[in-house]
Every structure is written in C-alpha cells, then in structure tokens.
Structure 1
Amino acid sequence: MKRKPNNPRARVERAMRGLLRVHRACIVDASVPEVQVMLHYKTCHKITSKPVADALCDIAHHWTVYMSAICQDGGRQWAKSVEYELEGIHVITRLPDLFEQPIADLIASCNPKHVIGHAWIAIPDSVSLDEEQAHRIYQAVGAWRQQAAA
C-alpha cells in the first residue's frame, strides 16, 4: 500500500478547523451598531484568541449561516431568520458579498416599521442553531440596542 504524500498545508488546515470546533467559534455581524465579533456560539462569550482568529480568517471553510432581520415594536423584540449552508468553501472576507441579496430579500419580507437592522451568524461547520441560541447571540452583541434605521 502506497502512503499519501506529506502535505503540511492540509495538516495545518485540519488543525485549524479542529481548533475552531473546540472553541465553537462563530462570526457575528450586526448592521447598525456596526459590530463584527468572534463568539463561542454556546456560551456567547467573546473569543479574543489570535490563533482562533487566524483559523477563521486565513483559510476557507464550509459555512452554516443564520441571517436575521432584527425587528422591534414597542418593547417586543424578535428576529425573522433563515438558516442555510453555503455551497462550497469560502474565505470569511467573501461572505458579506454573498449575503447582500438574501438579506435584502429577508428585510423586504418584514414590516418596514418594525425592522431596525439586520445581523448574521456564520459558523465554519455544519451546525444548526435554534431561535433561542441565535437570540442569545444577538443579545450578546447588542443587536436590539440599535436605533431604528428610519
């Protein structure tokens, strides 16, 4: 049996993906209080580790994306959301371009009087979030502390 050739790059990328799974890392981007932050998607704590940031930003991943129109009416807060997995693998810097039309469609499906912004959560793995987890993540980044974008 012939051995596979040594591929240091593939080995490093595997180690980086493992690091992201251990830290349960995700990127959260909220529109109005222009926030983009790395979080542990289970505990909602910020991740400030440079190796984790490098693993998220330096290599391409298969992403699961949770997009939301952030809505508010009086004291009631909610998010109208859609979740899907992107086809192929992408670098994080390319994600905002891929989200423009789906976010515009999502916002268009909401009552414009209630929409105060939009946000997305990108996880570099095949992980599904439920509404409660997503709501906690959006609370952690202050998605409802925004002023209505009138």
Structure 2
Amino acid sequence: MSKRKLHNMRARLERSCRALLSTNHVAVVNIDPSGRQGMINWQNCKNIPPGQRIADAVCDIAHRWTIYISVMCQKANGEQYCKSVEIAPQGNYRAEHLTDVIEETYESLRTECNTNHSAAGNCTFTCRLAD
C-alpha cells in the first residue's frame, strides 16, 4: 500500500496564487515619469482593481516573467514612434528581484534614443507572467 503525500501548505499557496493570476491574465504596468503603476488584464487591456490578494500573489510568489520595455519618442515634425525591447529572464523570480534587470535595460534603451526626440521622457514597462 502506498503512502499518501504530506500536506505542503507553501506549494498549495503557490499553486493557488498562480491560478489566480493566470485566470485574470495579470500584467503589471509602470509609466515613467508620472510614476503611475497598476495591473491590467493583458488580453482585453482593462484595469484590474487594486486588491490585496492579487497584489500578494504578484509580489510574494516567484514567477516566470516576460518584461516589455518601451520608450515613446516624438520627432520635431510631430511624428511619434517607439523603441521597445522584450526580455524573458530564465527561471522563477520574485518581483523585487527584477528591479536590477529592469533598471539596466531601461537605462540602456533610453540612451539609445535620440535625446531631442525623447523630450517627453515617456517610458513604459510591462511585466507579464509567462505562460
């Protein structure tokens, strides 16, 4: 007769949090220089109202992430364009451990842009949980 697996509360909590974020298609969006940050449903682009349960699921559990950083620029004639990069770190990371990767990529992308065109200084980055 086989033995039943022991109850692992941490693993159960992680599965529950990942399921919550997966069903809601959660993506974290940050807009510079305004400093606005929020969560959206990346499938239909609707805001997800702030809630402690979803915030804890994003911040307290390690996930696989896909990070999309975009700098919006405007030429002197009014034409707008954007420079973007997408990075997908290998492995599972908590949100607080991604700051170094995001800042490094953010700064390198801003230096690539023409300083006369990025006068508005708008930069957006989206962190999405990888499927």
Per the alignment, residue 93 of structure 2 pairs with 90
Q: How many residues align?
A: 126
Q: For each residue in 1:87-134, what CA deviation from the matched residue of structure 2 results, as whole angstroms up to 9, or x when unmatched?
A: 2222212322221111111112221111223221001224xxxxxxxx
Q: 1:58 is matched by which residue type in structure 2?
A: D
Q: 2:125 is matched by which residue type in structure 1?
A: W
Provide the rounded CA distance (Å) in 2 between the counterparts of 1:67 and 1:56.
19
Q: 2:59 is matched by which residue type in structure 1?
A: C
Single out whichever of 84-93 and 11-20 deviates more from structure 2. Answer: 84-93
Of 107, 117, 120, the match for 2:122: 117
SS at match of 2:102: helix
Single out whichever of 20-29 and 112-121 deviates more from structure 2. Answer: 112-121
Q: For each residue in 1:68-105, what CA deviation from the matched residue of structure 2 results, as whole angstroms up to 9, or x when unmatched?
A: 12212354333211112112222212322221111111
SS at match of 1:106: helix
Q: Which runs of 5+ in 2 are unaligned?
A: none
4+ aligned runs moved over 6 Å, structure 1:
none
Q: Which runs of 5+ in 1 are unaligned?
A: 127-150
Q: For each residue in 1:14-64, what CA deviation from the matched residue of structure 2 results, as whole angstroms up to 9, or x when unmatched?
A: 111011011000100111111111111122211123322221112111111
Per the alignment, residue 102 of structure 1 pairs with 105
Provide the rounded CA distance (Å) in 1 between the counterparts of 2:4 and 2:117.
60
> Where do 1:1-150 residues align within 5 Å?
1-48=2-49, 49-73=51-75, 74-115=77-118, 116-126=121-131
Provide the rounded CA distance (Å) in 1 between the counterparts of 2:105 and 2:44.
27
Q: 1:101 is matched by which residue type in structure 2?
A: E
SS at match of 1:55: helix
Give the number of the structure whose alpha-carbon radius of gyration is greater.
Answer: 2
Cα RMSD over matched residues?
Answer: 1.7
Q: Calculate the TM-score normalised by the size of structure 1.
A: 0.75
Q: Calculate the TM-score normalised by the size of structure 2.
A: 0.85
Provide the rounded CA distance (Å) in 2 between the counterparts of 1:9 and 1:35.
32
- Same amino acid, percent of matched pairs: 36
SS at match of 1:90: coil
